[in-house]
Structure 1
Amino acid sequence: MNRIPALVTEFRYFIILVLNRIELLKNEFSILFLFHEIFD
């Protein structure tokens, strides 16, 4: 029974990591897009 909270915590941590990675990717894409707009 004690493993379930640990699993939930790990899952939450994993979701936070994924969301952070998505935010980083979105930032990189917007920077690339800005460079395209500037140098076009």
Structure 2
Amino acid sequence: MFYWNNMKILTEIGSTEYKRIIHIIDVIKRPLSWSARKNH
């Protein structure tokens, strides 16, 4: 039971971190793709 609760907490934390990382990657990628389009 303890293990399951730990996994649940980790999953909740993980999904929040995952969303944040995805957002950061998206923000980083956007200007890169924009400048790449401008150059070509």
Q: TM-score, normalised by structure 2?
A: 0.64
Which runs of 5 or more structure 2 residues have no equivalent in the other structure?
none
Q: Which residue of 2 aligns with 1:9?
A: 9
Aligned-residue CA RMSD (Å)? 1.8
TM-aligned CA deviation for residue 33 of structure 1: 3.2
Q: Which residue of 2 aligns with 1:32?
A: 32
Which runs of 5 or more structure 1 residues have no equivalent in the other structure?
none
Q: Which residue of 1 aligns with 2:22?
A: 22
